[in-house]
Amino acid sequence: MSSLSRDDVAKLAGLARIEMSEEELVALSNEFTVILDAVARVQEVAGADVEATSHPLPLRNVFRTDVVVPSLTPEEALSGAPAQEEQRFRVPQILGEE
Amino acid sequence: MIRSSAAEMAAKLVTGEVTSVALTQAHLDRIASVDADVHAFLHVDTEGALAQAAAIDAKRAKGEKLSPLAGVPLALKDVMAQKGIPTTCGSKILEGWRPPYDSTVVANLKKNDIVILGKTNMDEFAMGSSTENSAYGPTHNPWDLTRIPGGSGGGSSAALAAFEAPLAIGTDTGGSIRQPAAVTGTVGVKPTYGGVSRYGLVAFSSSLDQAGPCARTVLDAALLHEAIAGHDPKDSTSIKAPVPQVVAAAKSGDVKGMKIGVVKELNGDGYQAGVRARFEESLELLAKAGAEIVEVSAPNFEYALAAYYLIAPSECSSNLARFDAMRYGLRVGDVDGAAAESVMNLTREVGFGKEVKRRIILGTYALSSGYYDAYYGSAQKVRTLITQDFTNAFTKADVLVSPTCPTTAFKIGEKANDPLAMYLNDIATIPVNMAGIGGMSLPSGLADEDGLPVGFQIMSPVMKDERMYSVGAALEAALLSKWGAPLLDKAPIMGGSK
Amino acid sequence: MSLTYDDVVAKYEPVLGLEVHVELNTNSKMFCGCSTIFGAEPNTQTCPVCLALPGALPTVNEKAIESTIKIGLALNCSIAPFSRFARKNYFYPDMPKNFQISQYDEPICVNGYVDVEIQTDEGTKQFRVEVERVHMEEDTGKSLHVGGATGRIHGADYSLLDYNRAGIPLVEIVTKIVPGTGKYAPEVAKAYVSELRDILRGLGVSDVKMEQGSLRCDANVSLRLIGSDVLGTRSETKNVNSLRSVERAVRGEMIRHAELLNKGERVVQETRHFQEDTGLTRSGRSKEQAEDYRYFPEPDLVPVAPDAAWIEELRAAIPERPSLHRKRLQEAWNVPAKEMEAMINADVLGIVEATVALGADPTKARSWWLGEISRLANERDTAIADLAITPTDVAAIVALVEKGELTDKLARQVVEGVIAGEGTPAEVVSKRGIKVVNDDGALMAAIEKVCAEQAETAEKVRSGHLPAAGALIGAVMKETKGQADAARVRELLLGHLGQ
Ligand SMILES: [Mg+2]
Ligand SMILES: [Zn+2]
């Protein structure tokens, strides 16, 4: 039986960048116990000799020629920005790596 | 006027019996009078639609050669980017966002002079089967306002059933065109994957998503299908081949000698009695029209739902990562000294609804190291098995058929707190997306026990979309002569109708 | 108790691995049609795709695939008959989709090698650096940190993002562990990056400008006790943006690790940042808790499956490896190693080669490009390549000198004329009326005039004090406006004065 603890969900929420309340964490971990049981069924039939299909069509080598096409104007590019400055997207301070 | 089919409207536009402006205005009036009850639309572009209609009338007056649906209005699912028009995907996180570009579907609609009335409601980011997951409130089924209109494209199907638009665009990742069509008594088609460009369709699950036509008749769906389909160099997964001749197929509606395969696994237990009765009846009508009914088996379909609920969440966990409050959309928690990471976390907490979060977390888990093989990897293998089942079945039949959904429309709120019960709605539609083939739902009548519409699903092989139109048109004609009038005539008259 | 480098290598064996990111010089980005020009105004080279607007989809730049295959071939790799793009998922504001389209377990090129040479006290040593993989991915945007003191992240109040660079094609070249470098690890690292840069430049697939970031090196270093099989913990040093820094970074990390290990402390697995000013590294993000990138095949793109004919076509176009090519030229031209080095450093080897191919003597061609023309470029503060003079011009000038139609001094005037845009060497010669005076009669007249004017000096020469002739020759040259052949003047002058 598959299950996810509250801490597992918290770790996943961190990876997925979603703040979650204690209640939500607990509620989701309970739900996942049920959902994972249902989806784990895929393992019943997926033998080692079966190939994986990641895409419904057997397409190959779809390329574009290296030609420049017009970009958006900076006004268009920044039109949805929550904040901007000097024709750049203004974002809160970035912690971590530079 | 608004109760005609799109093809009839187009004919009247050609003869000059009506102008596009008048036709558009009639639909805008209808929206104004009924949408408070139905809530099919998230945004109505009154000015834009009328301007577009006026321009088309002017072109027609000059004698320009116009496309078959020129001047006919349409409702666009809010998952499609349309330049300058709010595009929310039913989510708070995109509230107020106006794309600076057109999706290819929208570009094709404009090229074909189809008038875009506005954007329709949907489950947030197309995740759901009831349109209850919209951040902007549910849409109501015109057959019974206390019931769901299906999902995720419930806004589009309800708009059709309420005569707010004769045509609509939907998208179908696991049944989001077909299931809403089924529960509203309308027609919805999921074309072959790659048949219609995904460029500008806000991605839920990239390998499953496909845009398609929604309408009240099979011919209307075919006309819209041809208008939006075709190869698009902006979508690497778009098929470079001529568009299947779906309009011709819908016009001929010939099934003589065709083999129609009934999928044994998509019927029986768990399917409502009225749904099964209508399905059997439709099979008889098709047999009478000259088709041969055979039974086929697809043993791996029983794993389709499980595989789908791994693949779609996995892809969505990645696709929805871009909603991070940096470049567009909602931003929460940007107070002095806040770090980008915490702003992302808070914005995504507030901006995403419960079902979206549930799927993102599930997908994050299915892809994470140590679990990938067991979940995502196994689901991909199931996908192979399902495709093989289809390949085998199509050696025995030209098209496959099943009920579109196990039940008729359920009550709003009835399954809201039971994700697994909700997921079961899509049990018959999901295999189609897994294999990338075509699928159609058209009305097969009303269930005896509740008087609500039942959908009949037709599935056709990759890029043989014309087959489902042939079968759909044949069945539609047989049912129409049996009923004596379109099914939607039986829907309750909604208040304020003009 | 600072350790010396000798102390370190006496006790520890360095284990070296290098990751190099190269920006390809395609016209458009990896997955969209936006321009890739360096230094454009912020956010002028962005579109729905590279800004990751909802609904946008990537499309693959064919030229980028070709360039990557060429790189693989030049590095002796096998080209995979089937490879795929994958999504590498992690959140970072400079990465618009919050995943990078990269390649994971199915890279396009695998298992190659690069042979490098370093000069040591014990002579030339060769090392084989094995290449594990070469794969394609995309670059990130650029952030400008505002507030705080240094423009670094720490202490910044907020950041400003420019996505012009987001989506520029990157090729990542990853080596296997380079065994047996011993004390030479820093030099081997530098030689490898240098060799790689030459190869890439020779292929014409990248600008390879480390200072502009079109070639970036991450150095992975760990130490193990000599004689032990136990690998140490590695650090990954980024921001190494010159060849010299590669060497310094590796050496610096070896010493830092050894000091920690000697104190009985632990090396932390982490990213470190090289600092040009101090030559030291600074701790970056700790990788103690390995990031979970949740790679999966990119569903918006289809697999890349180059057929054999395409690969062979590209293989045929791969130029000779620059280092081998150079060796061959050096032998053919009979040039000392120092001179060869000078040509490489001045970036004129290709031009000299082209000049020689047009018939010029290698020594002459070299001295023109490395001498006068380099000087003029310096004077004008431009690159030699940007001057309006071509190998054809220089070959023509060398030929004119050889035929005696120009003296070296006159030839310099011609070079100047060509650079000034006055036309071909022949046109400059005729426009400026430059010609060698080789009419002995005219020369004799000038000599007699000068000897009369400077009788005292002429007498000195006549009496056997030859160095004094220089002044007289100079005066004659002046008299003939520099168009005489100085050697002939000397000959005639000395004859005239009985020497
Ligand atoms: Mg990389
Ligand atoms: Zn772009």
- Which of A:40-59 have CB within 8 Å of B? 40-47, 50-57, 59
| Predicted confidence (pLDDT) per residue in B427-441, tens digit | 999 999 999 999 999
**Model pLDDT for residues B370-390, shown as the tens digit of each residue:** 999 999 999 999 999 999 999
Residue type, C179: P
| Alpha-carbon gap, residue C438 to A28, rounded angstroms | 100
Question: Do residues B148 and B131 make contact, with C-beta atoms less than 8 angstroms apart?
Answer: yes
Q: Tell whether the model's pLDDT for residue C238 goes beyond 80.
A: yes
Could you give the percent of chain B with pLDDT greater than 90?
Answer: 95
Closest C-alpha to C136, from C189, C91, C80, C199? C80
Q: Which residue has the higher pLDDT, C286 or B70?
A: B70
pLDDT digits (tens, 9 = 90+) for C327-345: 899 999 998 888 888 888 8
Torsion sign, CA atoms C343, C346, C347, C350: negative
Instruction: Please tell me whether the peptide bond between B236 and the residue prior to it is cis, using omega within 30 degrees of 0.
Output: no
Taking only the tens place, the pLDDT of each residue in C253-291 is 999 999 999 999 999 988 899 988 888 888 876 555 668
Please identify every residue of B annotated as catalytic: 77, 152, 176
Q: What is the mean pLDDT of residues C61-79?
A: 98
Q: How confident is the model at residue C143 (pLDDT cuts 50, 70, 90)?
A: very high
B323 in any annotated domain: no
Residue B315 lies in a domain: no
Task: Report how far residue C490's alpha carbon sits from residue B205's, in angstroms, rounded to the nearest whole number.
Answer: 88
Tell me the pLDDT of chain C averaged across its residues: 91
Lowest-pLDDT choice from B200-204, B345-349, C121-125: C121-125
* pLDDT at res. B497: 43
| Average pLDDT of the residues of chain B | 97
pLDDT-derived band at A96, boundaries 50, 70, 90? low
- Are B322 and C161 a contacting pair at CB < 8 A? no
Q: Min CA distance, B170 vs chain A (Å)?
A: 20
For residues A21-56, one letter each, b for 16 or more C-beta atoms within 10 angstroms of the residue's C-beta and e for the rest, the string is eeebbebbbebbeebbebbbbbbebbeeebebbbbb
Distance, in angstroms, between B171 CA and closest chain A CA? 17
Ligand index nearest the alpha carbon of residue C163? 2
Tell me the CATH number at B480: 3.90.1300.10
**C389-410: pLDDT as tens digits:** 999 999 999 998 888 888 888 8
* Amino acid C493: pLDDT: 87
pLDDT at C151: 54
H or E segment and range at residue C417: helix C408-419
Number of domains in chain B: 1
Least confident interval from A26-35, B169-178, B454-463, C94-103: A26-35
Q: Quote the pLDDT of residue C286.
A: 59
User: Does residue B170 form part of some domain?
Assistant: yes
Structural domain includes residue B398:
yes
Instruction: Tell me which of B304-318, C113-127, C404-418 is least confident.
Output: C404-418
B365 touches chain C (CB under 8 A): no
Residue B227: per-residue pLDDT: 98
Domain assignment present for B319? no
- Name the helix (H) or strand (E) containing C491: helix C486-496
A13 contacts on B by Cβ (under 8 Å): 361
Per the model's pLDDT, the better-predicted residue between C36 and B268 turns out to be C36
Q: Is residue B309 part of a domain?
A: no
Candidates B323, B327, B360, B384, partner chain C, best to mutate (most C CBs within 10 A) = B327
| pLDDT of C436 higher than 80 | no
What the block records as the tokens of B484 is 């004596």
Query: Which domains, from first to last, does chain A contain?
Result: 1-44 (1.10.20)
pLDDT band at A89 (very low <50, low <70, confident <90, very high): very high
Rounded to an integer, the average pLDDT of B278-303 is: 98
Distance from the first to the final alpha carbon of chain C: 74
ipTM over 0.95: yes
Contact by Cβ (8 Å): B126, B169: no
pLDDT at B498: 38
Residue spans of the domains in chain C: they are 5-310, 320-432, 440-496
User: Domain limits at B107?
Assistant: 6-302+382-490
Question: Quick check: is B332 in a domain?
Answer: no
pLDDT in tens, B240-254: 999 999 999 999 999
What pLDDT score was predicted for residue C150? Answer: 55
Q: What is the pLDDT of residue A97?
A: 52
Which CATH number is C440-496 given? 1.10.10
Q: Which residues of A touch C (CB under 8 A)?
A: 15, 17, 54-55, 57, 59-74, 77-78, 80, 85-98
- The residue-averaged pLDDT of B70-75 equals 98
Give the pLDDT of residue C155. 64
Could you tell me if residue B308 is inside a domain?
Answer: no
pLDDT for B311: 98
Is residue B173 classed as helix, strand or coil in its secondary structure?
coil
C450-476: pLDDT as tens digits:
888 888 888 888 888 888 888 888 888
Over the stretch B17-47, which tens digit does the pLDDT of each residue have?
Answer: 999 999 999 999 999 999 999 999 999 999 9
